[in-house]
Amino acid sequence: MKRARVRALLLGAGLMACISSAAAETVEAVAARHGFAGEILVGRGSGRDATLLVDRGFGTVTPGGSVSHTAGQRWRIASISKQVTAALLVARAPSLLDKPVAIPGRRVARALPTLRALLTHHTDLANPDDTPAAATQMPAFYKVPRPDLAYCLRRPATPATAALPFRYNNCDTIVAASAGAPLRWPVGLAMARPGERGVPGFIGGKPEPVFELGSFGAAGGLVGTARALWAFDQALMDGRIGSPAVRDVLWTPEGQGSYQGLGAWIFTAPLAGCAKPVRIVQRDGEIAGVQTRNFILPEQRLTVIAFTNRSADDFSFGEVWQQSGFAYELLSAAACTG
């Protein structure tokens, strides 16, 4: 399992690259050319004005198999769960962002980070990826049906002498979600039940190792359809989760060279065929053999969602800010054609 790449430095020279003059491609053509296997959804607007532009499956569920992917499959959304969790937590108590969290009913023998530190991964919590793992297998933390909160809190707190560096850690979101009442997940999204993993993933053309998706908790354990995630994106885009002020807090990068907001990355980049650079809210996810991407383009009122059950070793999304690769071409086709 690879760690998410959350700090992309957008180099000035790259941002000024010329718009491609190649003929515009459709979303379907981009998917076919790259051999994409999974589901892609493109939707514009929200509420009564929402228009579903694309929602279809591509390729086969099993590499070399005969059963095709279809729209409406139930996927693990992986670390897009962090984006959902961040939105719900900030909407519930925006004034508590910069106060240490408290976990009801649990005595904790260490100082806990602030909600902001947890949602931006500036903490010193124990990391599930450090638990033992046999070759080609998942770390032991991910073999039980529910996250081990006690493990996350086992390390003593670092003295508060300086800001902690960025360290990506699923325990951050698990602890954040444990503060306060249980979260009510958006309609169509739910925490994985024991044994549930959604569409099966593949690594190197072989079935992924066995694990319990529910062990990721709020950090990656949600399952649901692309359309359910699109409905969440619409509510987030419109400021119906909390308020427009909450949305703006979520979508404000922390700065100092980082484009990380609360639960997502926010940056502006050129797309092929668009007249000017586009603001993008991006959340990546990957657990074992499934990769997920959630893109919101607020000014275009556009959502692009892509799920594949091929690992990063088998299929590369690329990086939008590098102006090449599948994700860049997919967004260009969705936002800058027609």
The dihedral built from the CA positions of residue 228, 230, 232 and 235, taken in this order, carries a sign that is negative
pLDDT at 293: 98
| Cα gap 319→296, rounded to integer Å | 15
Q: Residues 115-129: pLDDT tens digits?
A: 999 999 999 999 999
Q: How far is CA 241 from CA 22, 92, 99, 127, in A?
A: 39, 9, 21, 30
pLDDT at 338: 64
| Residue 109 pLDDT > 90 | no
pLDDT at 130: 96
Residue 4 falls inside a structural domain:
no
Of the candidate ranges 66-80, 147-161, 215-229, the one whose mean pLDDT is the lowest: 147-161
Structural domain span for residue 298: 12-336
Residue 228 falls inside a structural domain:
yes
Task: Report residue 180's pLDDT band, with 50, 70 and 90 as the boundaries.
Answer: confident
Q: Tokens for 11, please give them.
A: 């180099």
Q: Please, what is the end-to-end C-alpha distance for the chain in angstroms?
A: 37
pLDDT at 34: 97
Return the axis-axis angle of helices 170-178 and 80-92, rounded to nearest 10°.
Answer: 30
Residue 323 falls inside a structural domain:
yes
Residue 248 falls inside a structural domain:
yes
| Residue 310 pLDDT > 80 | yes
Mean pLDDT (whole number) for 233-238: 97
Q: Tokens for 319, please give them.
A: 């990086």
pLDDT at 147: 98
CATH code of residue 43: 3.40.710.10
| Cα gap 326→334, rounded to integer Å | 12
* Number of compact structural domains in the chain: 1
Residue 3 falls inside a structural domain:
no
| Residue 6 pLDDT > 80 | no
Cβ contacts of residue 202 below 8 Å, gap of 6+?
62, 63, 208, 289, 309, 310, 311, 314
| Residue 134 pLDDT > 90 | no
Residue 2 falls inside a structural domain:
no
Q: Tokens for 338, please give them.
A: 């027609």
Residue 221 falls inside a structural domain:
yes
| Residue 28 pLDDT > 60 | yes
| Residue 301 pLDDT > 70 | yes
Residue 108 falls inside a structural domain:
yes
pLDDT at 257: 83
